[in-house]
């Protein structure tokens, strides 16, 4: 199937496919999702197959109306309603106790489900027209770069998938995921909403211990979001590793910088392509450009990617989370 530009006709076609138990890639404000009817276990199983995603890694359920939330979860904590009123629609996912209507395949057998209301009109219309919540992870092969435009989806998953093209994603990073259990709010994944903004409502968020064999939500595995090209974060261990630095002499590097040039690293790179996430130091712009620029480096066929760290606060925490998980796959 070709990529379908968004219009009323393509939206209707996408909704019909969801109703029939098929897969559709669609835009959200965060990244493109690979969606299926979230109440149809057979349809959801196709997501895991298409992505080569391990079955123990749960999915996010997407809804189009706040009032639909209690069809799929139960809770009594009033702070959750405050979070919803403040951040929905938008890049906030809540992990809450699930109702029986939610299939176990969506939650990987957990008694909780990750759920959100996306802040993208195309996504909301698709969910509404489909008449069901849509289960959707990012529309890419498992562990690889998240897609922020339709071409990224086609490159990763192929042309046999219906891809609804809604342009580039505005946020460009996955949603922030917050868990609630036994009266405690926890951060499960930093993302498109700064944790500091959420803590104004919840108080200090607990850091939940990771469970790599039975995660509660997406984004909790040690390596993820990785380009096909080795990625390294520029730090003291890299800059003092003479063997590694000598290996750069015959290789072209993709150099990812935050807001300005870095003469120290550029002086030792004989061949490189440079990209700056935000020349004004705007974290929202940097976040939106992160996956886009990493995809661009893959297109340029550089031999490796070197990236500056950013200050791990606000959206910088989510940026560093993605970079650290990407680099984990290529540790020296």
Residue positions forming the annotated binding site for L-threonine: 30, 62, 116, 136, 175
> Considering the entire predicted model, what is its pTM?
0.93
What is the per-residue pLDDT for 214? 63
Domains of the chain, residue spans = 3-207, 231-328
What is the per-residue pLDDT for 330? 83
Residue positions forming the annotated binding site for ATP: 53, 57, 112, 138, 146, 189, 225
What is the per-residue pLDDT for 210? 60
pLDDT in tens, 221-238: 666 678 889 999 999 888
* Contact partners, residue 69, CB within 8 Å, separation at least 6: 63, 84, 115, 117
**pLDDT beneath 50, residues of the chain:** none
| Cα torsion through 134, 161, 328, 56, rounded to 10 | 50
What is the per-residue pLDDT for 332? 72
Tell the burial category of 296 from Cβ atoms under 10 Å away from its Cβ (0-12, 13-18, 19+): middle
* Maximum C-alpha span of the chain: 60
Residue positions forming the annotated binding site: 30, 53, 57, 62, 112, 116, 136, 138, 146, 175, 189, 225
Query: 3-207 architecture in CATH?
Result: Alpha-Beta Complex (3.90)
| Cα torsion through 247, 249, 251, 253, rounded to 10 | 100
Query: 231-328 architecture in CATH?
Result: 3-Layer(aba) Sandwich (3.40)
Phi, psi of 84 (to 5 degrees): -65, -45
What is the per-residue pLDDT for 212? 55
């Amino acid at each position: 199937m070709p990529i379908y530009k968004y219009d009323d006709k393509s939206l209707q076609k996408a909704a019909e496919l969801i109703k029939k138990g098929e897969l559709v890639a669609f835009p959200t404000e965060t990244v493109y999702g690979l969606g299926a009817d979230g109440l149809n276990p057979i349809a959801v199983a196709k997501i895991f197959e298409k992505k080569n995603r391990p079955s123990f890694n749960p999915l996010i359920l997407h809804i189009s109306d706040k009032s639909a939330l209690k069809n799929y979860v139960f809770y009594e904590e009033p702070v959750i309603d405050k979070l919803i009123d403040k951040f929905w629609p938008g890049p906030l996912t809540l992990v809450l106790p699930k109702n029986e209507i939610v299939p176990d395949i969506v939650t990987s057998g957990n008694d909780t489900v990750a759920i959100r209301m996306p802040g993208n009109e195309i996504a909301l219309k698709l969910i509404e027209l489909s008449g069901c919540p849509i289960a959707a992870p990012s529309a890419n092969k498992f562990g690889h770069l998240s897609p922020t435009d339709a071409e990224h989806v086609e490159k990763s998953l192929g042309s046999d998938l219906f891809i609804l093209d809604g342009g580039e994603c505005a946020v460009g990073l996955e949603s922030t995921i917050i868990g609630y259990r036994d009266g405690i709010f926890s951060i499960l994944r930093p993302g498109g909403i700064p944790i500091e903004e959420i803590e104004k409502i919840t108080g200090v968020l607990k850091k939940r211990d990771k469970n790599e064999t039975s995660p509660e939500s997406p984004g909790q595995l040690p390596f993820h979001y990785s380009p096909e090209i080795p990625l390294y974060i520029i730090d003291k261990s890299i800059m003092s590793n003479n063997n590694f630095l000598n290996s750069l002499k015959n290789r072209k590097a993709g150099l990812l910088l935050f807001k300005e040039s870095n003469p120290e690293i550029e002086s030792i790179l004989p061949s490189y392509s440079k990209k700056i996430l935000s020349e004004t130091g705007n974290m929202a712009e940097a976040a939106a450009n992160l996956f886009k620029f990493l995809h661009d480096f893959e297109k340029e066929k550089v031999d490796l990617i070197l990236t500056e760290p950013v200050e791990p606060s606000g959206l910088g925490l989510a940026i560093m989370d993605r970079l650290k998980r990407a680099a984990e796959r290529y540790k020296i």
